[in-house]
Structure 1
Amino acid sequence: MLRKFAPIAVLMLSGLGCGVLLISLLLRAFPQLEPGGQRFIFTDYDGDTFRHQPGLVRPPADNRLLEDLTRYDDVDGFRRPARVADSYPIIAIGDSFTDGGQTPWTDVLAQTLDTPVRNLGWSGFGPLEYAEVMRRYGSGEHTWVLVMFFEGNDLSNIQTSSVAIAANGGVLPFDLTRTIGAPITDVRSLAQYSDITLDANDQYLYPLTHSRPDATPFEMAYISDYLWWLNGDAATYAQSRNIAQLGDVLTSIRAQAGEACVALVYAPTKEHIYFQYADPDGNRRYVLENALTLLPGTPNADDTDAWLTFSGLQPVAYDVLAGRIDHLRDSVRATAAAAGLQFIDLTPALLTASASGDLAYYTYDSHWSLRGHQVAGQTVADYLQATPCEPR
């Protein structure tokens, strides 16, 4: 009897195995077929420059589709990496620059190094939250712990998070509940956006016109405050409470990392990269005429109010701004070194990429395009390959 049914059993098992293999191949080729994911579409009109500066950014005539993906989260709520593993030699902590993107830089890094990388990015987080992510989710045998620092708002996030702690009984508000609205499955028209403010006189500050070294033109809209966070003297950053607390955060992450090597990955703003190409005879002059200067706060007796702050309206010459533009980066570099972290600066690679080819940042958003993520992932991979991690 057993001999009679043995061939049938073999055929059934073979069919089951082929079915499982076929499903696996289909999901690999068409990941959007996997149940449980969230469809995500991102277009020009979804850019954050419209929301940060209502009425100052002219919407383009066409709403281009920039990203279309189905994303999945892991058991802790973080974005599931393309290369899933039982353990991750590399973990990456950050904000939306790590959490977002069609293909995030962490997946580019994993593919380049042929090594699993866990994505611990969360949109809206800042340095104090990074330390909490490390405390809760950073345990394990890792070779590298990477902390991405976004130049645009990570220093200001230290202050806002500190204020939130004070208002929350001394406890950092920390919530990994992902709030997602109804999925958007098509590219919408401008009339379907209630949060884009139009100027009745069609007079907008952005986007600015630009010209690359090879004379190829392009347009770019900026978040002005991100420019003014670069408009400070070197001592302004070094003496601030923001930088002091950043040092405490990095020291904490370094201590929790154990034998792993820890590096701060410095992500510059697109203002840092592309503003140099803006047409001096275009609207750039109006941006500079409406500048703010970054100033040290005024400490009180217990030195609790020395947060970085802005001056009132204070026009700035382009050459003055250009002379200050690296001060924040240099201060963060020194702070990371003092805390025992290595420093991976993405600025040179992004500056090189800015001279030609696809834009590394979206025209109407502050975040990286696919090319930006590719440049970032490759730059980090090059650094890790050239810098073997030595046990502490």
Structure 2
Amino acid sequence: MDIPTWKSRIERELKENILGYWAANTVDHENGGFYGKVADDRLAVKESPKSLVLNTRILWTFAKAYRSYGDPLYLALAQRASDYLSNHFLDPRHGGYYWMVDSEGRALNRNKQIYGQAFAVYAFAEHYLATGDAGSLQQAIDVFRFMREHAYDPENNGYREVCSEDWAASDQSGLGPDIPGMKKGMNTSLHVLEAFTNLYRAWKSEEIRYALKEMIETMLERIIDPATCRFQLYFDEAWNSLRPNLSSSGHDIEGSWLLYEAAHVLDDELLLQAAKRTAIGMAQAIYEKGIAPDGGIIEESDEHGPVTTDKTWWPQAEGVVGFVNAYQMTGQPHFMDAAVACWRYIEERFSDRLNGEWFAMVAADGRTDRSLPKVDAWKCPYHNARACFELVERL
């Protein structure tokens, strides 16, 4: 596939099948904001709760879309998401954002899940970059400072998984399985890194620069296994791995390009070279061990092989970007070949030409499960839209 043709197909997928779907099918005109769940057939499940993850990712997506294309529709949708987050998710007493509200915007889960706080930083920083809205930048800075004050571990570095409503330390489990002794996780750490990167783009202060540099070092020194160039997933307070045989190919390939991006934005030459070496190693590890026989990116594996043969949408999106990034760093053609193959797999298996958006899951034999929603607390426009934005800019 020649590059101009591929780029045109990506942009059409982005504008028509992803952004167009969200604009047409997800706006909650009755209760404000966006629906918490939309079924495969585009029917909204109107009573569904609304998650912080979904709403911050909608904000990021349409702010980025407006920054890329200048379409006033994208600006209006970004503003709608920003307003809803500020009016319903923002905790007016303690600061930060609730994890979940009901369909009418009343708080259901008031915990300060650090994963969600990171996405608030990421999204409001993007809204500022797109619009120049100083209030959005201040919201991102405020949450960043709450995270530093209440969730940061000054002894071991990194951030705990969850705080209570008033930002007190919480024993509740974070993302992933309930593992005794788990205090920190790769997934939260990766998205803290991502959030700090975007905030540093918007706010060139020493305060965020220090925190971003420290997160890059934490990823390199604590979370990535140098022997395998893969993430460890779950840790105790002192970064001892609690499931050393479990790996996530989707997060590895996503992390490869987010780590390099963070170091590039920071513009620290020593860290940039270290991140580049590691990112190439991570992409190569997934090229060798993270692609299933059917061509899809495997989600999780243990010492026995893939945990499931089903494929989910988001590792495929991250795979294309990660392999293109590896090609751009090395010029090695096998990475570009892998990226093109991954995109073709998406077009053939995941992109829904009938109802729009991408299927959440596809079986190894190619069957899609239409009982799964196109929109829910975790099924958001961020992975696939972001992949398209990245590819259009890079190709």
TM-score (norm 2): 0.26
TM-score by length of 1: 0.26
Compare CA radii of gyration and give the structure with the larger one: 1
**Structure with more strand by fraction:** 1
